[in-house]
Amino acid sequence: MRFLYVAPRYHTNQMDIMKGLIEHGHEVCFISHYAAIIEDYSYVTPIVLGYSKLYQFIDWLYVKVIHRKDPTAIVFKIQHGFPPMHKLGRIIRDFKPDVVILRERSVYSMAAYHICKKYGYPCILYNQNPLWSEPVKTDLLHRMVDKLSPQMRITPVMGVKKPGTTIKENDYFVPFVIEPQRAPQDRDYFADDTIHILCIGKYEIRKHHLMLLHVAEQLQDKYKLYVTLVGEATNHFQKEYCEQVRDYVKEHHMEDMVTVKTNVPRSNMEQEYLAADVYVIPSTLEMASVSQLEAMSYSLPVICSDTNGTACYVENGVTGYQFRDCDQEDLLEKLDEMLSDKNRMKEMGAAGYRALTEKYNFDKYFASIMQIREKCEKNF
């Protein structure tokens, strides 16, 4: 079958899906708005189509002039950027996809959906809004966006079942796919009798690297610890924050227990996971991180915030712990509890590895997409 994906970028959380599709004999065309610095094209090389010349000017004006001091301005294009329509249409028509996955309810995706709908290609919307969510807004703008977007939606975020939330018709939970990498019996733990903490995330304030370092500092007299921070630092905002992290390490005399790494290639990440004993992702405003699943694929216990969109992959007390979002004291308590029993840490890592192999594999993803595709065809 022919699978077409249209997304802002070729994200690492799609890697194992692409691998599965190719290894099972399917064709994949991946159209991205832009390319990031760190991407892995082992299985699929995306077509970086970019934006129309008109939007390129609008984006320059928005990012470089109007909001030049705002580090979040660069994401404006994800929702509002529009493609070169002629090129997009030609690629889609030439590929003749059997199923199309469109990322986000964005102008770019609406343009792709318009083309696909014209030629009868079944489309599925993919975003990271929770499955369990508040009722949809019904104002004119939201109704228009909904009408111009695919009606079938998949999300890797379960959300929380609580008063006021429901699962909308045609919404489906389809988890991230991560291949198992190292079973617990095939890896070592606690090298040099030290507990190695790994944290991966772009160098942004919301990732809370400094909070994790402060917590590690408070625990260093109780446990023999080593913290490795790995993250992207490519734009000047990220580089500036990364320097703040490095300064904290120096000012608090933590050079012997902390390493700060930047822009590590994906091909080198295996050694980081295998060197670790526990994975901590302390960030806030995290819609859906895939790194905790990657950590589970290496048989690591995980600690993450309870507002992380994919916190549902971390079962409290079984595969790791969830701490209260932005609560340093609760992170300290959960990490202390984790580190107090090395045997239990290994048991949690093993439980995470089992959960990964049972729930988050390619076969389940493919079966879900095929079922949804069938419903799409019935609705044409």
Tokens 């692409």 locate to: 18
What secondary structure, in 3-state letters, does 26-55 show? Answer: CEEEEEECCCCCCCCCCCCCCEECCCCHHH
Same domain, 60 and 192: no
Widest pairwise Cα distance in the chain: 65
Partners of residue 124 on adjacent β-strands: 101
Number of folded domains that form the chain: 2
Structural domain that includes position 221: 184-359
Same domain, 147 and 133: yes
Q: What are phi and psi of 310, to 5 degrees?
A: -105, 25
Same domain, 155 and 192: no
Same domain, 240 and 371: no
pTM: 0.90
Same domain, 30 and 106: yes
Q: What is the CATH number of the domain that holds 283?
A: 3.40.50.2000
Same domain, 314 and 214: yes
Partners of residue 71 on adjacent β-strands: none
Percent helix, strand, coil in the chain, to 5, is 45, 15, 40
User: From CA 12, how far away is CA 291, in angstroms rounded?
Assistant: 10
Same domain, 74 and 214: no
Same domain, 208 and 350: yes
What secondary structure, in 3-state letters, does 71-99 show? Answer: CCHHHHHHHHCCCCHHHHHHHHHHHCCCE
- Say what the pLDDT of residue 294 is: 96
Same domain, 90 and 119: yes
pLDDT less than 50: residues of the chain = none
Same domain, 262 and 125: no
Same domain, 126 and 267: no
Tokens 């770019």 locate to: 108
- Say what the pLDDT of residue 380 is: 60
Same domain, 99 and 191: no
Half-sphere exposure of 84 (CA within 13 A, CB side): 15
Sheet holding 258-262, edge to edge: 258-262, 225-231, 195-200, 278-281, 302-305, 320-323
